[in-house]
A and B are shown apart, each in its own frame.
Chain A
Amino acid sequence: MSILVSQSSASLSLPQIETRFRNRIWRGSATGVPPDQVVPSGFEELDKALPGGGWPIGNLTELLLPTEGLGEIGLLSRMLAQATQAGRHVLLVSPPHVPYMPAWENLGMDSRRIVIVKACTPAERLWALEQGVKSAAFGAILGWLSGISQQATRKLQILARSAATLAFLFRPASARFEPSAAPLRILLHPARRDALSRTLRVHLLKRRGMPAGLSIYLTLPLVPSPGLPSALPEGSPSESFIQPLPASKVAHA
């Protein structure tokens, strides 16, 4: 039987072999074993760097960021838009501020599919997050937990393994030196920006397979609209603060 197989495969071309023995051929340059299912992040450069080509389903992903307002929602927005438009719900566990739904809708998300849980103590937050991962009701789960132990991340990761959901954990950048059980850890930095575009520097601290090399620069979908009067002349900000600016857009409801 084995002879037969080797004879027939000898006459196959390389792409044929690849399609036939998919998942069983390992290339030296590949990022390890292709993980379970993935969801494309919507950013081509990022997808290339992520094992399997997207956010991994059934795994915990850590996003480390020094402070809010860097574009962290923009980074996830395409995935979240896809999930909510497919009719799945998204859970936010104790977000740091009030999510502003008109802006989330601008990014393509369906605000009716977003569930917010407010919990006061860290233990309650962790519990709510665990329940969310367990419940199989959500397409994606985003949790903001500042002081979370390694054991807790391990527990979350084990729970996530049996769930068909994307789990994201937002942690302060100072946690990058703490050990964590999440198989994917990403550090976010604000990058140099010019007046009208916003770039996020993404560094993969940890991933399955080969360690990632350089940082990736992503241009985020959320940019101040070019239709607005653009930046004030640089170098003389104080002056421009004093002079009254013309009201460009008067909104009447």
Chain B
Amino acid sequence: MLWIALHCPTLSLDWIERRFPAPLVPAMAVTVRRGNQSYILQANKAAQQRGVAIRQPLASALALFPDLAVVEHDPDEERKALHEAAYAALRFTPRIVMQDSGLIAEISSSLKLFGGLKELCQSLNRAVAAQGLQLCAAAAPTARGAWLLAQSASLRTVINGTGNRSGSLLDALPVDLLASAQLHLEVIRGIGCRTLADLRQLPRGGLAQRFGPELPAELDQAYGNAPDPQEWFEPPPAFRQKMELMAQVEGVELLLMSVQRMTEQMCGWLAARHAAVREFSFLLHHEHSSRQPQASTLINIKLSERSSDPAHLMVLLRQRLERTTIAAPTCALELEANEIAAGENGNLKLFPAAQSEATSLNRFIEKLSSRLGHRTVTGLAIISDHRPEYSQRQQLFQLSGTSSDCETGRGNKAISRKAVPQKSMGRSTSFPNRPAWLMENPVELKLRNQQPVYGSPLQLLAGPERIEAGWWDDASMARDYFIAENELGQLLWIYREPGTAVENHDQWYLQGFFG
């Protein structure tokens, strides 16, 4: 077994700082009550520069810097922030143990997939740090050993305690890191024990008698001499996260950081469930007021192909957010995975190959529809009908052969593609002389000397071809089609309706161009 422990020494400050848009973080301190007095537990950099120090009474800190933002120590919120960070870590391993101020991940089975211990440790660190936590990390063969080492590491460093080194590294750790020694620290120091090595030299029986059986047990677990069963972190069956922001955020840019964090949490959650998302929605909550009745803005994203790739989801979200008008400043964000599907993790290729064409087409369609609107990317389906206006239908483009079950069959005009032989389809039912371009609606042509004019007087080249159909529905038509040409060299498909002549003049319409 191999463990990576991530310890967050400034957790009580981090959970609140991550709710601010990055440029707006004020000078801030977290206080804890001891007896009658509040003391500073942690202060951020801006506050420390003003002279606010840890373990200072709150009153003297406020005397030094009256504008200090003061937050009370809140273990529940800290735990919540840690859980969110654990979601992000789930992408790398399903075995995660929560601690009070950090988490421990068992990674021996993920090493190969993520390219070795160093790479994995870096990516894990980056993913959790991206959730807004400041971390120190350590890797060791035992969970407790890794946790002790991580607590001793300084910020943003990793201690590598794998292999033979773990024993000597642990030996040098100070005793006050041990959870079971907290009550007896003074005595232990008094008998001259400073490091774990000093403690281990003492006789076991006496140690257990004097300080309780937990102390030698913890030492054994850290050194790997006793079993250390763990309780794994279990992700909930549904994903719904809400993040309150500490400021009223007006623009989209400042929201993106939080949006990205939540998206990554969702992707980690998806990875733990071996699933991919088909539809998810962001809810931007606005502060309630009488002037601004809209309580929230919904951003719902449907994917044409399920995905669990945070980068792809972010591209879609960013484009959608840029297009959305947000009615009021946002005070909270809520993300929900509405529809998930069992994901298939494709096999990795031996040689890097280009993305499959189907995937890139799906991504292209999603990208365009999220920026330009839902119905921008279309295809045209042929319907066997002789009337030009009814012989094709616009529909949302979908890959042929992948899903024939969704939303094409609208109305009775849809023909089943499966029933028609693939190759001869279309050709068997249509006529050779049809134009490549069709006008949106037929254009009435002007007449000059009773001749139709489009750019110049038209010359008829071929015709007529009578199309008479549609008596069974309301759009019955009877038209004589001609192919005509003008002096620009365009070939036009025009028609007149026999029997509708006004004052002996036929009315001519332009139906399309031969492109």
Is A103 in the interface zone, CB < 8 Å from B?
Answer: yes
Q: Find out whether the CB atom of A68 lies under 8 angstroms from the CB atom of B515.
A: yes
CB closest chain-A residue, reference B487 = A190
Whether the Cβ atoms of B363 and A135 lie closer than 8 Å is yes
A218 → B minimal CB distance (Å): 14
Whether B223 is near chain A, meaning CB under 8 Å from some CB there, is no
Q: Which residues B335-369 have CB closer than 8 A to chain A?
A: 354-355, 357-358, 360-361, 363-365, 367-368
A210 interface residue, CB < 8 Å from B?
A: no
- Say yes or no: is B99 at the interface (Cβ < 8 Å to chain A): no
Say yes or no: A69-B461 contact (C-beta < 8 A), given A100-B388, A100-B435.
no
Bound CA–CA A67/B437 (angstroms):
12
B462 contacts across to A, CB distance below 8 A: 195, 224-225, 228-231
The B interface is mostly helix, strand or loop, or mixed, namely: mixed
Q: How far is the CB of A187 from the nearest CB of chain B, in Å?
A: 13
State the CA gap A118–B162 with chains docked (Å): 58
Contact of B385 among A113, A242, A253 (CB under 8 A): A253
Enumerate B433-474 residues with CB–CB distance to A below 8 Å.
433-440, 449-451, 455, 457, 459-470
Contact (Cβ within 8 A) A247 B466: yes
Q: Are B437 and A135 in contact (CB under 8 A)?
A: no
Q: What's the least CB distance linking B147 to chain A, in Å?
A: 46
* Interchain CB contact (< 8 A) of B377 among A66, A115, A231, A237: A115
- Size bin of chain B's contact surface: 35 or more
For B371, list chain A residues within 8 Å (CB). Answer: 127
Contacting pair A231 B451 (CB below 8 A): no
Is A214 part of the contact surface with B, judged by Cβ < 8 Å? no
Contact B433 A102 (CB under 8 A): no
B377 touches A73 (CB 8 A): no
Q: Which of B372, B381, B436, B439 contacts A74 (CB 8 A)?
A: B436
Q: With a CB–CB cut-off of 8 A, which chain A residues contact B287?
A: none
Contact A253–B384 (Cβ < 8 Å): yes
How far is B464's CA from A229's CA once the two chains are assembled, in angstroms? 8
Is A137 touching B466 in the complex (CB atoms < 8 A)? no
Determine if B427 and A105 form an interchain contact, defined as CB atoms under 8 angstroms apart. Answer: yes
Q: Render A84-117 as a binary contact track against B, CB cut-off 8 A, 1 for contact.
A: 0000110000011111111111110001111111
Please pick, from B380, B464, B506, the residue contacting A111 in the complex, using a CB distance under 8 A.
Answer: B380
Q: Which of A100, A224, A247, A252 makes the CB contact (< 8 A) with B392?
A: A100
For B460, give its contact among A103, A112, A131, A232 (CB under 8 Å): A232
Within the assembled complex, what's the spacing in Å between the Cα atoms of A171 and B449? 34
Q: Mark A205-249, 1 if CB is under 8 A from B, else 0.
A: 000000000000000001011001111101001101110110111
Residues of B within 8 A of A249 (CB): 465-466
B256-264, B303-311, B489-497: which lies at the interface: B489-497
> Does chain B have a CB within 8 A of A128?
yes
Which residues of chain B have C-beta atoms less than 8 A from A252's C-beta? 386, 468-469
Q: Is the CB of B485 within 8 A of A101?
A: no
A229: chain B residues within 8 A (beta carbon): 462-464
Q: CB distance A131 to B483 under 8 Å? A: no
Asked if B466 and A248 sit within 8 Å, CB to CB, the answer is yes
A88 CA to B360 CA, complexed, in Å: 12
B376, A119: Cβ atoms under 8 Å? yes
B161 within 8 A of A: no
Known contacts A231-B460, A245-B463; decide if A69 and B490 are in contact (CB<8 Å): yes
Enumerate chain A residues within 8 angstroms of B449, measured Cβ to Cβ.
238
- Chain B residues near A111 (CB, 8 Å)? 379-382, 392, 426
Q: Kindly state the separation between the CA atoms of A104 and B377 in the bound complex, as whole angstroms.
A: 19
Chain A residue numbers with a CB within 8 Å of B436 are: 73-74, 99-100, 103-104, 107, 222
Within 8 A of A (CB), among B478-504: 480, 483, 485, 488-492, 498, 504
Asked whether A97 lies within 8 Å of B437 as measured between CB atoms, the reply is yes
Q: CA separation between A225 and B433, bound complex, in Å?
A: 6
Asked if B211 lies at the interface with its beta carbon under 8 angstroms from chain A, I say no
Q: How far is the CB of A92 from chain B (nearest CB, A)?
A: 10
A70: Cβ under 8 A from any B Cβ: yes
Asked whether, in the complex, the Cβ of A250 is within 8 Å of the Cβ of B438, the reply is no
Q: Are A103 and B513 in contact (CB under 8 A)?
A: no
Q: How many residues of A contact B (CB 8 A)?
A: 71
**B391 an interface residue at 8 Å Cβ cutoff?**
yes
Question: Known interface pairs A71-B515, A228-B463, A238-B450. Does A112 touch B368 (Cβ–Cβ under 8 Å)?
Answer: no
Are B489 and A98 touching (Cβ within 8 A)?
no
Evaluate contact between B465 and A228: CB separation under 8 angstroms: yes
Residues of A within 8 A of B491 (CB): 69, 71, 198
B514 located at the interface, meaning its Cβ lies under 8 Å from any Cβ of chain A in the complex: yes
In the complex, chain B residues 375-407 whose Cβ is within 8 Å of any chain A Cβ: 376-382, 384-388, 391-392, 397, 400
User: Is B141 positioned at the interface, with any CB of A under 8 Å from its CB?
Assistant: no
Distance, CA A145 to CA B252, complexed state (A)? 31
Quick check: B364 and A119 within 8 Å, CB to CB?
no
Hey, which chain B residues are within 8 Å of A73, CB to CB? 436-437, 515
Q: Which residues of A contact B434 (CB under 8 A)?
A: 100, 102-103, 106
- Please determine whether B461 and A195 come into contact, CB atoms closer than 8 angstroms: yes
Whether A251 contacts B469 by the Cβ 8 Å rule is yes
- Whether a CB of chain B sits under 8 angstroms from the CB of A185 is no
Q: How far is the CA of A114 from the CA of B394 in the complex (A)?
A: 12
- Residue in B425, B434, B449, B469 with the greatest tally of chain A CB atoms within 10 Å: B434
| Nearest neighbor of B472 in chain A, beta-carbon distance | A253
**Bound-complex Cα distance A253 to B368 (A):** 37
Q: B46 → chain A, closest Cβ, in Å?
A: 41
In whole Å, how far is B391's beta carbon from the nearest beta carbon of chain A?
A: 6
A53 to chain B, nearest CB (A): 25
**Is B236 on the interface with A (CB-CB < 8 A)?**
no
Q: Decide if A12 is an interface residue (CB 8 Å cutoff).
A: no
A113 touches B400 (CB 8 A): yes
Flag A14-40 by CB within 8 Å of B: 1 or 0 each.
Answer: 000000000000000000000000000
Q: List 10 A-B contacts (CB under 8 A).
A: A102-B434, A105-B426, A105-B427, A136-B355, A228-B462, A245-B464, A249-B466, A250-B466, A252-B386, A253-B385
| Given A98-B380, A111-B426, 8 extra CB contacts under 8 A | A69-B490, A69-B515, A70-B489, A115-B378, A118-B378, A193-B489, A228-B463, A237-B457
A-B pairs, 10 with minimum CB distance: A190-B489, A69-B513, A247-B466, A137-B361, A105-B426, A69-B490, A103-B434, A97-B437, A73-B515, A102-B430
Interface residues of B (CB under 8 A from A): 354-355, 357-358, 360-361, 363-365, 367-368, 371-372, 376-382, 384-388, 391-392, 397, 400, 425-427, 429-440, 449-451, 455, 457, 459-470, 480, 483, 485, 488-492, 498, 504, 506, 512-515
